[in-house]
Structures are given as C-alpha cells and as structure tokens.
Chains A and B, each alone.
Chain A
C-alpha cells in the first residue's frame, strides 16, 4: 500500500515538472522552512528573527533603565537573573556599559537594518514589481543565514566570562583596539567584530540582490515611475548599504589589525595599567571618519524603508493619491546623495577645523529640505482624505509625528557651535531615539500590521492593535521627551549613575519617571507579540486584498506559491496611487487594470506617450458629452 502511494507521488511529481515552468515540488521541511529560497519565507524568517532580537534589546534597555532610576537600590531578583553581572542585586558598572552597547548594536543593525529592510524588501520587492523571486534566491538564503549566524554570535557574547563588548555601538578605539583596556574590550569585542563581519556580508548579499531585482526583473509595464514608493525606498536603501558598508569593512579590518597584529592605525602613544604600550603615531580620528562614513548613511538605511512603507500605507488608508509622488522620489534621492557628505557632524568636537565643521553643518542642514518635503507630502496626503484608522495607518501617522518632533532637534544638533554644548548628552539620545528609533520602529510595525495578511494569510486583531499603538505612542513620547531637558542641562549619556554628581542628581526623579514610562511601553509590546503569534495560527482568514489597495502584491493568491502568480505575471498599466479617482466606480483602481477598462475615470495626462489611447479617450469624452446633453 505504502509503496503504491509513494509511486503515485513520484508520478505526480514527474507530471508537475513537465507542465510547470517554475516549481520546487520536492519541498521538504528543510527546504521549505529552514533553507528556503523563497523570498516570502525568507521575509518571514527575517521578521521573526528581527522581532526576537528587538524583544531582547528592549529587555536590555529596561535593565539599564532600572539602574538609572534606582541607582542606590538593590534588586535581589537581578542577581538571580543575571548572576555575576549583578552582584548583590546591583548592576555591575561594566555590564551597564555592555547593556547600552549591545542594545544600540542590536537595535540599529539587527532590528532596524536587517529586521526592517530584510523583511520588507524581501517580501515586497518581487511581489510589487512583479517578479517570480529575487535575482539570486540562493544569495538571498545566504543573506538570511549570515544574519542568523551574526545574531547568534552577538548574543553568545553574554555567555562568556568577561561579558559582551562595552565600548558603545560606535566601538571607538582605543577602547575597542586594546583588548586589555577593560572587560568589554576583550573576547566580547572580538565576538562583536566577528558578528558584524557576518552581518555586513548578509547586508551586502541582500542589498545586491534587491538592486539587481528592481533594475532587471520588473514585469511588463512596470517602468521606474510606476513603482510604488516602497520600492523606491528599498532600492535607494539598498544602494546606500552597498556603498556604505564596505567602508565600515575597511575600518573594521584596520581595527582588527590593531587589536590582533600590533599595527598602529588608530593607536597612539598610550599607557595601559601603568605599562607604556608600543603603539605610536596612530589616529583614533581616522576610525571615526571611516565609521561615520558608513554610520551616517546607516541612519538613512534605517529610516528610508520606514518612510517608504508609510507612504504606501498613508496613501492607501487616506484613499487619496500620494501627494507629490515625484517629489517623494526626488527627496529620497536627495537624502541618499546628501547622506554621504554629512558624516562630519558626528565629529564636530574632535578638534575638527572649524571651517570643515561649517561645511558639514551646511550639508547637514540641507538634508532638512528633502526631509521636510516628505513630511509636508505626508500631511498633504492626509489632508481631507477619507481616512481609515487601521492599526497600520495609526503607526504610519505615528511615524510622521516622531519624524517631525525628532527631526526638529536635528537642526539644533547639526549646528557646529550648539553641538559643543549638546554633544554626548541626553539631548542626542532623545533626538535619535525619536527620529530614527521610534520613527523607524513605527514604520516597521505599520508594515507588519499592513502586510500581515500578505505574509501569513490571516488578519491581525484590530483592537489589540489600537491598544498597542496608543500605549507605545504615548510611552515613547513620555520616555524620550524629558530627555531633551536633561540634555540641555548637560546630563551626559552612557553614565552609570547620576547620584554622584551634585548638578545632575536632581534629574533622578525624571529618570524614575522615564523608567516607568519605558516599562509601560515595554509591556505594551506584549499586546503586539500576543496578537502576532495568535493571529498566525488562529487569526481570521484574510481576503486577497483586505485594504482595497492598488499595488501588485494583492493580486497574487493568498496561498503562497513559489513563483508568486499561478499563470503569467500580470502586466502593469498605471501608477500605484489611483485612489478615489473622479469618475471611477470604486475608490481604488489596481495597477493591473488597463486604462481601456476605466474609460469614465481616465484623464488626459494618463495618455502622455500614447497617441492612440489619447484619441480613444477623446472620442469617448465626445460621445459621453452627447449623452449628457440628451439627459
């Protein structure tokens, strides 16, 4: 019996291969869920790994927030949980620095670079441009597994004797270049570097794939100016990554040589534990140049996908075309180009020539222009829209809010003179946590709520989504807004306790308040996690196009196919933002609907390079006018 069924199976497979031009019919558990080469599965892998890393990084932040709120109190539970990292229930000062470092590293790289770009570029690029899969599915798979390996190595550093790296996420030498400088400069730092090497490999494999897919594998009719803004954002993000990450590689290679082979690229005359070190003539500023040449584009790698995602969600849920589509694209391009010539604003106080500082100040402030264009376009899209407040929409609006309130302080910080006062204070912490931290996380969450039906074929629960949104939105402002005032008062970042300093100890009550707000927003994430996991298994089944959206991913069947569309890939005839077009029967017209099927809503500018179409349109108008006169 069993033999027969096996044989039957075999015959079926054979048939499948004969008739289907793109099938992986021999999917085993291993090739379907583990070493999958299907972009949709890889997107889910990225998302779930990213969420896991985000939860870990969030817990780390709560740990150091508790220390900041109660610097003199012992929590026996801490010792139970953390062992030698919290002797007598009080956080070890070295471990506090490790927590800050790893929280930053995980959030910037593992969550908001890999988790955000990895998830949504993988999911949406092939589906929205109309491709069967990525240019190289194999490289795509490697990209995920390098990322996974990097995550494991990064987390493994918590289980070694001296603990994780603790020189800050920017790993400035000399702390990072001298293994004996402090506990966190030893094996933990080595693991950090190894992990980042894999991470960069993963990012590059991914980024190369995204660019190649977008430029080479668009479906018929999908010219660049018909691409959704999500795709534009992912495309430019990938270009940024491809150009910026190699520079970090160069910086890290030199750092590894300094650490392990005794060169002095970054190390100058230095005395360590009373011993004069043999290094000479190196320049730690060189590392900062190399690091921030990546580091600044990196913050745009973080925020641009979130901006793209929210463009799409805001247009869809305002039932209006995005305001200023071309302006949106050009401002993304502007941000991309400018992001390479502003890195010096991280180094205003390194003894930089004031003239050079002035140049970097000007380029930095110019970035405000495209950013403001985007902000105004979001607001103009919302203006008098027929807004549907889905959870995704709320998160997208939340992004706009954070982008404005965090972006405003960027104008202060970009100023070379003001930066002397504000540098390395909580003002900086407040600024980037709002403008790139919260904003990008909100973009990511908006994307999860919006494309969850596409990923898992189920709907998420709306009410839990609203609860999640409001608690997180209010919580994030309560956490980060007070930090501005601390920063203005000169409270420095990364300090273990402020009680030792007369001038800062009065901020203790504010720190306590911030910590409780942080705990509240952390607990709010439980609502999300529950909603996410529960909906995967027991959510309402999703229809094919739950948000009445125009883009192509909603024309593919809910059940995932390797190859995305069962038959031919649909052709694209129009831009993705035909919402509430006057004269149309419904308030959305998908990109795959030809103009000939929507005669009543066509406008003259729909036929820019299309003489025959324009002729037909004019005839139809003439005929239609006559009818109206008869009426």
Chain B
C-alpha cells in the first residue's frame, strides 16, 4: 500500500518535472524571440541589412540536426519498447550528430570569417547577430548533449524503466525543440539575408 503511494507520488513528481521542461522551452523561446526582434529592430535602421549569403555549412548543419531528430525519435521508441541496445545505439547516434552539428556551425563561422570576410566585429551589427544567435543556440545544444548523456548513462546502468523513460522524454522534448528553433533561426536569417 505504502509502496503504491510512493510510486504514485514519484510518478506525479516526474510529470511535474517534465512540465517544468516545457516551461523552460517557453523561456528559451523567449530568448530567441528577443534576438530575432532585436535583429529586426536593428536591421530596420539605415544600411543595416545583412547582405550576406549564408555559408552552405549552415544548410548542412540544418540537415544534420534534422537527422538527429529522427534518431532521437527512434531512441525514444526503442526506450518505450524496452529495447536497451537499440536505445543506446540511437542515443549515441543522436549525440554524434549533435557534435557534428556543433562542428558544422563552427565551420560555418570559419567560412564566414576567413573566406567571406564577414567578421563578428563587423560595423554592421546585423552580421554580428548571425554569430551571436548561432553561438547562443550552440550553448543550448551543449545542454541538450548533457541531457542525452544522462539518458544514455541511465540506460547503460539499467535504471528503473520509469526513470529511463523520464530521462529519455526530457532529452527528447529538449532536443526536438532545439531542432525546431534552429530551423526557425535558419529560415529567419535566410529571409533576412538581403
């Protein structure tokens, strides 16, 4: 009987914690909304248009992160089916793709700086915005990878299924959000690149 109550309260608490993740996503969304509206206000000024064709690297990174969302989904599915081997495989794949995304973004900065001569310290701060926005998104990616590592560790250690699913869910919610935010940011920058 007590065990049942224990179980119930735990489950409720996990639900509330998952809900907290959703609120955090609202938070994060506001951050990027602030950057985009800052960009709009700034680039509305005279001669402040971006005027940069975004490097191809950002397109590749978009493909990578979209793929990682697929592997994330497969990992969650495997976790729900209690297939630990598959869950770990797909989680590792997601982490690798996440690191690939990170690398590709950094490569994008490299291309912008060294090949296109578009610097972080450009007098036209619209261009600095590209760096800052991608940088802040990368910080989130690092956070997402930490979540994924937690989920992976839990799966390897065979923690109870309820907790395993909880950790997977937390990472999945966050990771899909990062994917969607990146696509939003990429499209936003594309549309404003003239």
Query: Are A and B physically bound partners?
Result: yes
Give me the interface of A with B, judged by CB distance under 8 Å. 19, 21-22, 132, 135-136, 139, 204, 207-209, 211-213, 215-217, 242-247, 249-251, 253-254, 257, 261-265, 278-283, 286, 289-290, 293
- Kindly list the 6 A-B residue pairs having the minimum CB-CB distance in the complex, ordered from nearest: A280-B123, A250-B34, A135-B16, A216-B16, A246-B31, A246-B30
Contact A281 B47 (CB under 8 A): yes
Q: Determine which residue in A21, A242, A282 has the highest number of CB atoms from chain B within 10 A of its CB, and name it.
A: A21
Is B27 among interface residues, defined by CB-CB distance under 8 A?
yes
In the complex, B121 has a CB within 8 A of chain A: yes
Residue among B41, B45, B122, B132 making CB contact with A253, cutoff 8 Å: B132
Given contacts A265-B125, A286-B42, contact A212 B27 (CB under 8 A): no
Closest to A250 in B: B34
Verify if B96 is at the interface (C-beta below 8 Å from A). Answer: no
A264's partner among B30, B33, B125 (CB-CB below 8 A) is B125
A280 to B12, CA, bound (A): 54
B125 to chain A: closest residue by CB: A265
Q: Is the CB of A249 within 8 A of B2?
A: no
Verify A254–B132 contact, CB threshold 8 A. yes
Give every chain B residue within 8 A of A251 (Cβ-Cβ): 34, 38
Contacts of A293 in B (CB 8 A): 34
State whether B34 touches A246 (Cβ < 8 A): yes
Given contacts A208-B27, A283-B42, A286-B42, contact A216 B34 (CB under 8 A): no
The 8 A CB mask of B4-45 against A (1 = contact, 0 = none) is 011001001101110110011011101101110010011001
Instruction: Contact check, A249 vs B31: say whether CB atoms are below 8 A apart.
Output: yes
- The answer to whether B121 touches A263 (Cβ under 8 A) is yes
Q: How far is the CB of B131 from chain A (nearest CB, A)?
A: 8
Complex: how many Å from CA A127 to CA B132? 43
- Asked whether B136 is an interface residue with its Cβ less than 8 Å from the other chain, the reply is yes
Task: Determine if B120 and A263 form an interchain contact, defined as CB atoms under 8 angstroms apart.
Answer: yes
A257 to chain B, nearest CB (A): 6
**Contact in complex: B13, A22 (CB < 8 Å):** no
Q: A265-B42, A289-B41 are in contact. Are A212 and B19 (CB under 8 A)?
A: yes
**B13: which A residues are within 8 A, CB to CB?**
135-136, 217
User: How far apart are the CA atoms of A281 and B123 in the complex, in Å?
Assistant: 6
Show 25 A/B contacts (Cβ-Cβ < 8 Å), sorted by A. A135-B19, A139-B20, A208-B20, A208-B23, A212-B16, A212-B19, A212-B23, A216-B12, A216-B19, A217-B13, A242-B27, A249-B31, A250-B31, A250-B38, A251-B38, A253-B136, A254-B132, A257-B132, A263-B121, A263-B125, A265-B125, A265-B128, A286-B41, A286-B42, A289-B38
Q: Is the beta-carbon distance between B123 and A264 smaller than 8 angstroms? A: yes
Q: Which residue of A lies closest to B127 (CB)?
A: A263
In the complex where A21-B6, A293-B34 touch, is A281 in contact with B17 (Cβ < 8 A)? no
Q: Is B48 an interface residue (CB 8 A)?
A: yes
Minimum CB–CB distance for A480 against chain B, Å = 33
Shortest Cβ gap from A242 to chain B (Å): 5
In the bound complex, do residue B31 and residue A136 qualify as a contact, i.e. CB atoms below 8 Å apart?
no
Q: Does B124 contact A (CB under 8 A)?
A: yes
- Closest CB in chain A relative to B2 CB, distance in Å: 5
Residues of A within 8 A of B34 (CB): 246-247, 249-251, 290, 293
Tell me whether B16 and A261 are in contact (CB under 8 A).
Answer: no
Looking at the assembled complex, report how far the CB atom of A541 sits from the nearest CB atom of chain B, in whole angstroms.
31
Docked pose: A262 CA to B34 CA in angstroms: 21
B-side contacts of A262, CB under 8 Å: 120-121
* Min CB–CB distance A131 → chain B (angstroms): 9
State the Cβ distance, B113 to closest chain A Cβ, in Å.
13
Distance to closest chain B CB from A601 (angstroms): 34
Complex contact B9–A281 (CB within 8 A)? no
Closest Cβ of chain A: how far from B14's Cβ, in Å?
10
CB <8 Å contact, B23 and A242? yes
- Residues of B near A244 (CB, < 8 A) are 30
Least CB distance from A28 to B in Å reads 23
**A-B CB contacts (within 8 Å), total count:** 116
Contacts of B48 in A (CB 8 A): 281
Q: A142 to chain B: closest CB distance in Å?
A: 12
Which chain A positions have C-beta within 8 A of B27? 204, 208, 242-243, 245-246
Bound CA span A21–B13, Å: 14
Chain A nearest CB: distance from B164 CB in Å? Answer: 18
CA distance A213 to B35 in the complex (A): 29
By a CB distance below 8 angstroms, the chain B residues around A253 are: 132, 136
* A216 vs B17: C-alpha distance when bound (angstroms): 9
A251 to B34 CA separation, bound complex (whole angstroms): 8
Q: State A75–B140 Cα separation when bound (angstroms).
A: 52
Give A241's nearest chain B residue, CB to CB.
B27
- Most interface-central of B9, B28, B33, B120 (chain A CB within 10 A): B9
> Given the interface contacts A212-B16, A217-B16, does A242 sit within 8 Å of B6 by beta carbon?
no
CA distance A434 to B128 in the complex (A): 41
Please indicate the chain A residues that have their CB under 8 angstroms from the CB of B45 in the complex: 281, 283
Let me know if B16 and A263 touch, CB within 8 A. no
Evaluate contact between B12 and A263: CB separation under 8 angstroms: no
Known: A246-B34, A263-B125. A217 touches B12 (CB 8 A): yes
Check A281 against B125 for contact (C-beta < 8 Å): yes
Closest chain A CB from B24 CB (angstroms): 6
Chain B hits for A278, CB < 8 A: 121
Known contacts A246-B30, A253-B132, A293-B34; is A216 also within 8 Å of B41 by CB? no
Which residues from A are CB-within-8-Å of B132?
A: 253-254, 257, 263
The answer on a CB contact under 8 Å between A281 and B38 is: no
**How many angstroms from the CA of A246 to the CA of B25 in the assembled complex?**
11
Chain B: CB-nearest residue to A266 = B125
Who on chain B is nearest to A263 by CB?
A: B128
B5, B20, B120, B132 interface centre (most CB from chain A within 10 Å): B20
- Checking A19, A136, A209, A242 against B26 with a beta-carbon cut-off of 8 angstroms, the contacting residue is A242
In the complex, which residues of chain A have a beta carbon less than 8 angstroms from the beta carbon of B33?
A: 247
Evaluate contact between A22 and B128: CB separation under 8 angstroms.
no
Cβ-defined contact, A216 with B42, below 8 A: no
Q: Which residues of A contact B19 (CB under 8 A)?
A: 135, 212, 215-216
In the complex, chain A residues whose CB is within 8 Å of the CB of B24? 204, 208
Chain B proximity of A353: nearest CB distance (Å): 12
- Contact in complex: B9, A212 (CB < 8 Å): no
CA distance A21 to B20 in the complex (A): 24
Measured between alpha carbons, how far is A135 from B18 in the docked complex, in Å? 9
Once the chains are docked, how many angstroms separate the CA of A283 from the CA of B42? 7
CA gap between A247 and B124 in the complex, in Å: 22
Question: Would you call B123 and A132 a contact (CB within 8 A)?
Answer: no
Residues of B within 8 A of A263 (CB): 120-122, 125, 128, 132
Give min CB distance, B170 to chain A, whole Å: 11
**Chain A's nearest CB lies how many Å from the CB of B99?**
23
Inter-subunit contact B16/A136 (CB<8 Å): yes
Closest chain-B Cβ to A235's Cβ sits at a distance in Å of 12
Is B42's CB under 8 angstroms from A279's CB?
no
Residue ID in chain A nearest B129 by CB atoms:
A265
Q: What does the 1/0 interface line of B111-143 toward A look like (CB < 8 Å)?
A: 000000000111111001100100010000000
CB-CB under 8 A from A212, the residues of chain B are 16-17, 19-20, 23
Most buried by A among B5, B15, B30: B30
Complex partner residue of B20 from A209, A243, A261, A281, CB under 8 angstroms: A209
Min CB–CB distance A575 → chain B (angstroms): 24
In the bound complex, residues from chain B placing their C-beta under 8 Å from that of A280 are 123-124
Q: Which chain B residue lies CB-closest to A216?
A: B16
